[in-house]
Amino acid sequence: MDRAVTNQTIGTTWAGTHTFGARQLHVPHSLEQARQVIADATRIRALGSRHSFNDLADSPGDLISLREVPLPLEVDAASGTALVHGSLTYGAVAEQLDAAGFAMPALASLPHISIAGAVATATHGSGDRTPNLAAAVTGVELIDADGELRWFERGETDFPGVVVALGALGVVTRLRLAVEPTFQVRQDVLNGVRWETVTERFDEITSAAHSVSIFTRWAEDAIDQVWLKSREDSAPTELFGGRIATEDQHPILGIDAINATHQGGLLGPWYDRLPHFRMGFTPSNGTEIQSEYLLDRRHAVDAIQALREIREQLVGLLQVCEIRTMAADDLWLSAAYERDTVAFHFTWFREPEAVHAVLPALERALAPFDARPHWGKWFAMDRSGLEQVFPRIGDFRDLAGRLDPAGTFRNDYLDRLVL
Ligand SMILES: Cc1cc2nc3c(=O)[nH]c(=O)nc-3n(C[C@H](O)[C@H](O)[C@H](O)COP(=O)(O)OP(=O)(O)OC[C@H]3O[C@@H](n4cnc5c(N)ncnc54)[C@H](O)[C@@H]3O)c2cc1C
């Protein structure tokens, strides 16, 4: 059965920031149906859990979600890999993986996102030595425009172009991920760390735990919170002049901490500590727009100074800003391609016109650092700007031309900005 949802009921992105214009959404219940739907379509794109904020996932024709196609988890303990269903959420797969004794090395701030959707946009968590989520992928299975299943393996020439692919190469069925033995994590939150300490001791702060997030609303003197996620064999030893929070906090001040993963040094499973937000609860705010810019971490302190200089333009619109780091990878369209990275994330109030107006100023402030925008969030940069900061975009264009010559998986976003 292919349950087709018509245009009237597809609705919007999770945050309501884009209304889908696609004709219909197919929700097939078997791989054979999925392949047939795709082979029959002239324009079709994969839809994940719709947590992107722009029109990236939309289609001028149809959409398809494989979430109802049964593709069981297969763990190969000998090679330390797991073959996962791309259209399930990290949250849905994590507990099964944990029960089998394994963990994923990184998770984003929320477990609600689909694995293939997150990988497609180079979604990341945080950690000086932790690359983004897509870097764990060692094999990709997708349905191409002819409805044929294709497998791509790490080590093949095209592989670094196939993983972070913005849905442009086909509909991913399964991904093989490198996994590691399951581990526990404790989470501690610091309040009151001063800006001077952040800029003078940036590398010490970001290396103080397995995963570190700095939350700020760009107040003059101090940041709001530092979240330290430490693996079971370690605990924070340095408070950087701040104080340990005694109660759980939400990154956006004023929102109930019930939605956040437990803090206060309480050990818990990796999948319930690496994300900031708990599965089954509302992540972030919900009424929001997000933007994010990623640059070489060598420029972190200069970029902080540049943003502090334009803070007056940011503060009224900002619910919170998050600063994270991640290790370099080799994936062509990854915002961490070939550079250890610092990411500046902005959760704005949902005021579209004001956000559109501030983005050019923000991008000007970060331009000296060749900042790359997050593909799934709002940005102002045009095609030529993207070409300057994503050096392999031309190779990706050639790859898409070879794998999808008829443009079955193209949409307005890709035509406008990438292909
Ligand atoms: C509250 C919130 C917090 C967030 N936190 C983070 C964070 O911590 N770090 C970060 O980097 N980002 C973060 N994001 C952004 C989010 O991770 C990305 O936008 C991600 O791509 C969303 O995944 P999705 O499954 O919702 O994909 P969608 O938004 O549905 O689709 C995104 C892209 O993936 C493609 N796609 C989806 N499924 C498939 C498939 N099966 N095959 C091929 N292509 C596919 C789509 O075609 C589209 O191009 C956050 C977003 C929200 C709403």
Of all protein residues, the one whose alpha carbon is nearest to atom 34 of ligand 1 is 117
Query: Which of 38, 90, 123, 137 best tests ligand 1's pocket when mutated (most atoms within 8 Å of CB)?
Result: 123
For residue 372 and ligand 1, the question of a CB distance below 6 A is answered with: no
Q: What pLDDT score does 9 carry?
A: 83
Fold annotation for 5-64: 3.30.43
Q: What is the pLDDT of residues 330-380, one digit of tens each?
A: 999 999 999 999 999 999 999 999 999 999 999 999 999 999 999 999 999
For residue 198 and ligand 1, the question of a CB distance below 6 A is answered with: no
For residue 164 and ligand 1, the question of a CB distance below 6 A is answered with: no
Ligand 1 center–CA 43 separation, angstroms: 20
For residue 52 and ligand 1, the question of a CB distance below 6 A is answered with: yes
CA 232/CA 262 separation, integer angstroms: 15
- Rg for the chain, CA atoms, rounded: 21
Q: What is the pLDDT of residues 169-216, one digit of tens each?
A: 999 999 999 999 999 999 999 999 999 999 999 999 999 999 999 999
Ligand 1 center–CA 218 separation, angstroms: 27
Mean pLDDT over residues 234-252, rounded? Answer: 93
pLDDT over threshold 90, residue 235? no
Helices (H), 178-318: 195-200, 202-206, 300-309, 311-315
CATH architecture of 74-182: 2-Layer Sandwich (3.30)
Percent of the chain with pLDDT over 70: 100
Ligand 1 center–CA 375 separation, angstroms: 9
Evaluate whether 223 touches 198 at the Cβ level (below 8 Å): yes
For residue 108 and ligand 1, the question of a CB distance below 6 A is answered with: yes
Q: What pLDDT score does 128 carry?
A: 98
Q: Work out which ligand 1 atom sits closest to the CA atom of 169.
A: 43
For the chain, domain boundaries: 5-64, 74-182
Closest CA to 209 of 252, 249, 244: 244
Q: What is the pLDDT of residues 133-145, one digit of tens each?
A: 999 999 999 999 9
pLDDT over threshold 70, residue 7? no
Cβ neighbours of residue 72 under 8 Å, at least 6 residues apart?
Answer: 85
Mean pLDDT over residues 286-299, rounded? Answer: 96
For residue 117 and ligand 1, the question of a CB distance below 6 A is answered with: yes
Q: Work out which ligand 1 atom sits closest to the CA atom of 119.
A: 21
Mean pLDDT over residues 294-315, rounded? Answer: 97
| Burial (CB count within 10 angstroms: exposed 0-12, middle 13-18, buried 19+), residue 308 | middle
For residue 119 and ligand 1, the question of a CB distance below 6 A is answered with: no
Of all protein residues, the one whose alpha carbon is nearest to atom 27 of ligand 1 is 117
CA 180/CA 170 separation, integer angstroms: 28
